[in-house]
Amino acid sequence: MLCMHLHLAPAFLPFALRGGRLAVFLHGIECWKPLGPLRRRALLLAWRLVCNSQETRRRFQRSNPVLAGLPLRVCPLGIGSAQEAREGEGTEECKEPGVLLVGRMDPAERYKGHDEVLEAWVEVRARIPTAVLHVVGEGADRPRLEEKARRLGLGGSVRFHGEVADHRLESLYALCSFLALPSAGEGFGLVYLEAMRAGKACIGAQGAAEEIIEDGETGFIVPYGDVPALRERMLELLCDAELRQALGRAGRRRYERHYTEQAFARRLSRALDA
């Protein structure tokens, strides 16, 4: 029995106590804090523990030293869709330089980097007046971020799209210049895979993103919270079409080699193999 979320694991305790083979998949922030007794018990009884990244494993073990000795296999995620077959999507860009930021806007998740991107965008807009920042996602923190954009004088250069349908999101990936999500709290970061699938370079922050983005090869890694470093990398990609397109092509190749649904299924099968 595979439980794909830690929050559900206690419900499988009777199954595990009867000798059933329970596997639990850990994703990130839900296990980066000391666990309560029921969740600890479920993990101690689990036949197999799997997680999505080395970052998730490190932070789980640091927060739960009593569980640190349990074998925990790393199995990076993968994505795929019918649109995946559209080879070359993403090689065309919108005429106006556009940066895409995709992420939930929740007061408890300000680690995702929206504030830092907005602060960096002040200088980006001054240097490249036609550049547009597209922000996709919803949440209770959206009004604060919209007000911050107004206060910074960013005007129409920042567009908040809210939640969008899958086909609209794919269009935004296809038309953007690159993705920027300098988050410190991702257990993995599926949005990086979505951008790579579309042939786009990525900017991420130190953490799990380092396991997906090859710094200088498929995008850039910046120190979390370092607005000047983020600004310079965004300007570098916006000003150098040849570079960002080369990084995007390399990202697409990396996606095809490592992060398709089929690649994930093979990894998961190996991780669950007795």
- Convert the pLDDT of each residue in 216-228 to its tens digit: 999 999 999 999 9
For residue range 50-64, list pLDDT tens digits in order. Answer: 999 999 999 999 999
Q: Give the residue from 234, 236, 208, 206 showing the smallest Cα distance to 221.
A: 206
Which region among 57-66, 95-104, 172-181, 263-272 has the lowest average model confidence (pLDDT)? 95-104
**Domain 82-258 grouped into CATH 3.30.360.10:** no
Q: What is the percent of the chain where pLDDT is above 70?
A: 94
Question: In terms of DSSP bridges, do strands 23-26 and 132-136 run parallel, antiparallel, or are they unpaired?
Answer: unpaired
* Mean pLDDT across 206-220: 98
* CA distances in angstroms from 238 to 248, 253, 269, listed in the order given: 13, 22, 40
- Assess whether pLDDT exceeds 80 at residue 38: yes
Alpha-helical runs (H) found in 64-189: 114-127, 142-151, 166-175
Q: Which tokens in the block code for residue 92?
A: 């065309």
Question: Quick one: pLDDT at residue 95?
Answer: 60
Q: What residue segments make up the domains of the chain, in order of their start?
A: 2-74, 82-258
Sign of the CA dihedral 10, 14, 16, 22?
negative
Whole-number Å distance between alpha carbons of 73 and 25 = 9
Which strands sit side by side in the sheet containing 98-102, from one edge to the other?
A: 158-162, 132-136, 98-102, 178-181, 201-205, 219-222
- Assess whether pLDDT exceeds 70 at residue 274: no
* Mean pLDDT across 190-197: 98
- Assess whether pLDDT exceeds 80 at residue 46: yes
Per the CB < 8 A criterion, the answer to whether 75 and 50 are in contact is: yes
Question: Quick one: pLDDT at residue 92?
Answer: 53
- Assess whether pLDDT exceeds 60 at residue 191: yes
Question: Quick one: pLDDT at residue 86?
Answer: 47
pTM higher than 0.85, yes or no? Answer: yes
Whole-number Å distance between alpha carbons of 10 and 167 = 36
Placement of tokens 């951008």 in the chain: 195
* Mean pLDDT across 170-194: 97
- Assess whether pLDDT exceeds 90 at residue 170: yes
Per the CB < 8 A criterion, the answer to whether 201 and 219 are in contact is: yes
Per the CB < 8 A criterion, the answer to whether 135 and 170 are in contact is: no
Average pLDDT, the chain: 94
For residue range 62-88, list pLDDT tens digits in order. Answer: 999 999 999 999 999 999 974 543 444
Burial, 226: exposed, middle or buried (Cβ in 10 Å; 0-12, 13-18, 19+)?
Answer: middle
Burial, 130: exposed, middle or buried (Cβ in 10 Å; 0-12, 13-18, 19+)?
Answer: exposed
For residue range 87-141, list pLDDT tens digits in order. Answer: 444 445 566 789 999 999 999 999 999 999 999 999 999 999 999 999 999 999 9
Which residues are registered as beta bridge partners of 180? Answer: 203
Whole-number Å distance between alpha carbons of 274 and 271 = 8
